[in-house]
Structure 1
Amino acid sequence: MLSSGQSARRGSIGPFRNGDVPCTCQNTEPANQYVSKDELDDLQKRRAEEFRQHQIRSGKENDVLILAPANTPLQYPMRGFRVTPMNKTLIPGLALQTQKRAVYKVSLRVQKGVLSVLDVQEGEKVDGQNEKHLSISSSSLQQINELLSRLTYTSTIYHIKTEDLAYFTFENHEVIFPIEIRRLSVPVLFDPGKDVNSQVTVLIKAFLRYKELNVLIKSIRWNYPKIKIIVADDSLNPEKVVGDHIEHYIMPPAQGWFAGRNLAVSQVTTKYFLWVDDDFVFLNETRIESFVNIMEAIPELDVVGGQVETNQFSFKLQYEEGISEEGGCITRVHSTHAPLPGFDGCFFADGVVNYFLGRTDAVRRVGFDPFLKRVAHTERPA
């Protein structure tokens, strides 16, 4: 989460990488046949940039396979070896580096899968094919390493996210390396389009204050005549909110601020949304684009908070884990973590004022607690 200096105001009215190989889609029609050729190149560039940002946000840019050098005679993947559940996968980087022996013998064992060597030929000594414990022996070091290059792992337990440990042994040397078992997820990518109207939706939770709401909408339209506005309204006697590019959703009465937020966010089709209160007023210098520029430059961010009049209300949370019986301690400190490099006046924070740009998919994963009805500000003792 980030705090920035963008402002509005309240109205006065009230190495190696796993999977770095192209995929092939068989017996299916490519999606690009539904896009006109004059749009395809630009669309593919936007898609590539969105996927790059997705990789950063999901940590895939750190998903690097690291091979341990032969400090022992055994070379193996220290980290970054990932398999999908119940799919046979070559184990990368396995090798033996040692002095000449009459016979070389290595073995591997796992717990949640089986091991096998592909295309075993006559004269190649492999014991334990498709079992949890496998051994390879040969009088040739070159042949041992050739067989190790064809060694595979297949998980036998279906689990979308777990880990196995492989024990790799030669004589009195043994190393252990992790095997991450994870079902791949389809990335959620939004087409950001070419301008702020296709990137951002403005969200408003309305309750009774229609005069202020209309002033807010008018102020938004000064600089953003085509941006979509979504209003979630739980007023007791709803009034119509009309206008171009406005969606007005009527809720049961007095459902609360966070219930309204959940409804509004559920209807967003853009990559980002801007949250504003119904008694805000946009200033001439209010620029949503500055929020978008920060989010596009730093894909790890979920929220960028602004400033309302002179109030940024940024704070950080300090958490001590404590013991399981009594729980931990969480403290709110009215401060920030650190400046954001490259953006003067912006700071990393855990909480921001109620005027922020949110990344739609990230906020949907967390949501807002509808148990908090009309008091959705900071909890205070009575």
Structure 2
Amino acid sequence: MDCDAFKRSHYRLKLSYLAILLCGMGSVYYIYNRASGFPEPEEYDDDSGLFNKLNISNQATRSMQCSCLKTSELYNLEDFVDATELSEVRQRREVEYQKHLTREQSPLQQLLVAQPNSPLMYPIQGVHAAPLQETFIPGTPFLKSTQARFRDIGREANASVTLSVTNGVLAIKNLDSDGKVEGQREKVLSLSASRLDTLNGLLKSLTYTSSLYRIKGGDLVHVTFEQYSATFPIVIQQTPIPNLSDPGQDINSQVTITTKTFLRYAQLDRLIESIRAFYKDIKIIVADDSFKPQPIKGSNIEQYIMPPAKGWFAGRNLVVSQVSTKYLLWVDDDFLFTESTKIEKLVEVMEAMPELDVVGGSVEGNFFNFKLVYEEGEDGGCLSRRMGNYQSIPGIPDCHLTGGVVNFFLARTDSVRRVGFDPRLQRVAHTEFFVDGLGKLLVASCSTVSVGHQPKGQATGEEKKVLDQYWTFRIEKQEEVKMKMALYYFKNRLKCFSP
């Protein structure tokens, strides 16, 4: 045996001895606990105030002040709102934020702290109920008394349990036993019996029915037995109907290539020519807001004409709305497909990790991967953008999870539609899509797939005139920057942004 093998064997032997020791200690504790009965709650007085600290900590996450990471660019977003309107805008934002919380918050987000050594057995997760439909509660509370008078199951005594909810009613479906039930189909249900097995028998047919129709929500069931109490959640949700996309047999039935163009028909023609060199049959969808639209030649190409200079994100929304495949590939109109533009590799990654929504490649080695660091604050959130990745994807070493990627990415069509592109962003916008998708989109970047970029500064004659006109619209004006920052302030409820 070599030295390393000996060390590993010796280490495993140590772990075995430790496991036996811990098992023996646990057995002694179990025997002792069984002999002495469950300790009463008074023996667990919270002298350290731990439970209070937990509750305070949970509340503090909603009332703390946050700050953005300090860089050379740090925007205090209130500075981009007209000072004469700031107070009114702030009030309107708070009203909309409260409505947002009504839509997004749930009782299931409440911090719950379990008592030590409780004699109650109850479900801690996985209880689902469709709205307004009576639902049996699986893993219903099972009671085991800590008091000596109940240890002899044949002895007469008065055992009772109380259950309560807020957003629905409780009931016992099977009333054939000898137990007493009060509050049937009400928010508070009380059960009592002379025997614990009778009480547990009643609990096996416990049902819950929500009172209001909501497609998603929750409730908390509070249980009280003797000196003990427990709380467990019920998820109230209308089960959604699946919306599946048939991937078909090849890349042409899986992916649609999408782009947006404005004036740059020469660049668009080169892009299409490069696509057809590698993917001769794949569908291409183009949104076009040029002043004098020109027909785009080629097979399996759809061109959608927009109002002149309508804008970048409006065009993205338009093309995405027309995609019927499972995935879309976004490219700019001045990219070029090369031997390294392997769409199939991106599809393989998405299929291997169904949780992914977006996976990007590189544009001639430029990945533009960035992380979004977000903190909530009482008077608005704080958002910072930092270049880099979160972590690599297990089993796919060339791909990393990140917050945003370059303008060359494959995405699930339905995921992009759920987030959308704000049409008010007309000239320069990219990060904003990933900001709106934070917490909704799982994003990755893979280094093995790239696309080329058409060289700049080589145009002459009429093409150069067109590009000069294009750049007068492409460059972001100061008033547009101000509008974008004001959007961050109101729509995303941010108080600062560090790009």
Fold-level match, TM-score > 0.5?
Answer: yes
Q: Which of residues 154, 157, 164 is equivalent to 2:219?
A: 164
Q: 1:188 aligns with which of 223, 237, 243?
A: 243
For residues 293 and 332 of structure 1, the distance between their equivalents in structure 2, rounded to whole angstroms, comes to 29
Which amino acid in 2 is paired with 1:88?
E
CA deviations 1:98-137 (Å, max 9, x no partner) are 3235232222122221111113126442222111222222
Tell me which amino acid in the other structure corresponds to 1:160. Answer: I
Higher mean C-alpha deviation, range 363-372 or range 127-136: 127-136
1:181 is displaced (CA, Å) by 1.6
Residues of 1 paired with 2:284 and 2:173: CA distance?
A: 58
Q: CA shift at 1:291, angstroms?
A: 0.6
Paired with 2:267 and 2:297, the residues of 1 have a C-alpha distance of 14
**8 Å CA contact 2:178, 2:193 repeated in 1:** no
SS of residue paired to 2:422: coil
Question: Could you list the runs of 5+ residues in structure 2 that have no partner in the other structure?
Answer: 1-113, 146-150, 433-475, 479-499
Residue 102 in structure 1 maps to residue 156 in structure 2: yes
Is 1:357 the counterpart of 2:410? The answer is yes
Within 5 A, what are the aligned runs for 1:1-382? 71-94=117-140, 95-98=142-145, 99-100=151-152, 102-103=156-157, 104-121=159-176, 123-322=178-377, 324-325=378-379, 327-377=380-430
Q: Within 1, Cα distance between the matches of 2:361 and 2:254? A: 18
Comparing 155-164 with 270-279, greater Cα deviation is found at 155-164
Give the C-alpha shift of residue 280 in structure 1: 0.9
Aligned residues: 313
* Distance (whole Å) between structure 2 residues aligned to residue 135 and residue 321 of structure 1: 41
Q: For 1:83 and 1:70, locate their aligned partners in 2 and report how far apart those are by CA, in whole Å.
A: 28
Aligned amino acid, residue 314 of structure 1: N
Give the corresponding residue for 1:34.
none
Q: State how far apart, in whole Å, the 1-side matches of 2:237 and 2:430 are.
A: 38
Give distance in 2, aligned partners of 1:71 and 1:210: 73
Structure 1 distance, partners of 2:115, 2:230, is 12
Partner SS, residue 168 of structure 1: strand
1:167–1:176 contact (8 Å) kept in structure 2: yes
User: When you count helix as a share of all residues, which structure comes out higher?
Assistant: 2
Taking structure 1 as reference, are residues 342 and 212 closer, same or farther at Cα in structure 2, changes over 3 Å only?
Answer: same
Cα RMSD (Å) of the superposition? 2.1
Contact 2:281 2:300 in 1 (8 A): yes
Sort the Cα spacing of 1:143 and 1:300 in 2 relative to 1 into closer, same or farther, 3 A: same
SS at match of 1:203: strand
State the secondary structure of the residue aligned to 1:345.
strand
Rounded to whole Å, the distance in 2 between the matches of 1:221 and 1:142 is 74
**TM-score normalised by the chain length of structure 2:** 0.59
Structure 1 counterpart of 2:156, one-letter code: A
Which shifted more, 141-150 or 264-273?
141-150
> Which stretch shows the higher mean deviation, 372-381 or 287-296?
372-381
Alpha-carbon offset, residue 381 of structure 1: 9.3
2: CA distance between counterparts of 1:377 and 1:176? 44
Q: CA deviation at 1:80?
A: 1.9
Task: Give CA deviations for 1:192-245 in whole Å, capped at 9, x if unaligned.
Answer: 112111111000111111122122112111221111110111111111113221
Q: CA deviation at 1:70?
A: 10
Shift of 1:69: 12
1:283 Cα deviation from its structure 2 partner:
0.4
CA contact (8 A) 1:69 1:75 kept: no
Q: Which amino acid aligns with 1:92?
A: P
Structure number, greater radius of gyration? 2
Taking a change above 3 Å as real, the CA distance of residues 377 and 166 of structure 1, as seen in their structure-2 partners, is closer
Contact 2:404 2:431 in 1 (8 A): no
Q: Per-residue CA shift, 1:240-283, capped at 9, x if unaligned? A: 11322111111111111111100000001111100011111100
TM-score under structure 1 length normalisation: 0.77
Alpha-carbon separation, structure 1, partners of 2:189 and 2:425: 57
User: Could you say what secondary structure the match of 1:186 adopts?
Assistant: coil
In the alignment, residue 428 of structure 2 is paired with which amino acid? V
Distance 2:403 2:339 in 1: 28
Q: C-alpha deviations, 1:313-346, integer Å up to 9, x for none?
A: 1111222333x23x23322212221222222232
Distance (whole Å) between structure 2 residues aligned to residue 366 and residue 151 of structure 1: 40
**Displacement after TM superposition at 1:158 (Å):** 2.3
Distance 2:431 2:116 in 1: 56
Which residue of the partner structure matches residue 32 of structure 2?
none
Q: Which has the higher strand share?
A: 1
- Residues 6-48 of structure 1: CA deviation (Å, up to 9, x unaligned): xxxxxxxxxxxxxxxxxxxxxxxxxxxxxxxxxxxxxxxxxxx
- Residues 173 and 376 of structure 1, relative CA distance in 2, 3 Å threshold: closer
Closer, same or farther in 2 for the Cα pair 1:145/1:261, shift >3 Å? same
- Tell me how far apart the structure 1 counterparts of residues 364 and 120 of structure 2 sit (CA, whole Å): 63
